[in-house]
Each structure stands twice: as C-alpha cells, then as structure tokens.
Amino acid sequence: MKIILICSSGISSGLLVRRIRKLAEREGIDDFSITSTGFAAFRRNHDCDLALIAPIGPTNVNNMVDVCRQDHIDYLVIRKEDYESLNVEEILRQVVGSAN
C-alpha cells in the first residue's frame, strides 16, 4: 500500500511518517510505504493508494478531500488529537482498517 501523508508543507509530518513506518515494520505489515508532501505538491502529483490528510485547517482539509473525491483516491482525515499527540498506533490501525 502506497500512502501519502498530506500536511500544509510536507515538512511537519516527517516525524509522524517515520514513526508510522517504524511501527508498520515492527507489526510486520508488508507492502507498506509512506511519504509526506504538502498540499500544493499533492495537487500536482497524487500517485497513491491512500491519502492521509493532516488536520491542518478546515479549508485545506476540505480542498484535499475534494481532490481525492474528484480523482477517486481513498483518503482518511487524521483526527486532530491523534495528529497532535503522534498517536501512530491509532493512525496505523485506521490505515490498515481502510485497506480491508
């Protein structure tokens, strides 16, 4: 599964991506890759199986949801509490659940 985590610039989510990747490896989840990108870059290139949308401003979230719907991309909006607390266990649980 190829996942793109989208945040405002793609920089702030780097730590979250590393922690999710490490947890997926520890859990033995196969065929899993995750990267981060900013909103603008995602609009230009969104080759992924799942878009994980960071809760950075309702307008940005709504715009990314619209892009995903328009281009038939599966997406999840990360709960603000999970994003701010780096709750990678819950985020990964939702990602895996969306794949089933």
Distance between CA atoms of residues 29 and 99, nearest Å = 12
Eight-class DSSP state of 11: S
Residue 91 has pLDDT above 90, yes or no: yes
Query: Each residue of 33-71: pLDDT tens digit?
Result: 999 998 888 888 888 999 999 998 888 899 999 999 999
Distance between CA atoms of residues 60 and 66, nearest Å = 10
CA atoms within 13 A on the CB side of 52: 30
pLDDT band of 72, cuts 50, 70, 90 = very high
| Domains of the chain, first to last | 2-99 (3.40.50.2300)
pLDDT at 67: 92
The number of residues in the chain equals 100
Residue the block writes with tokens 């909006």: 77
pLDDT at 92: 95
The model carries a pTM of 0.88
Residue 99 has pLDDT above 80, yes or no: no
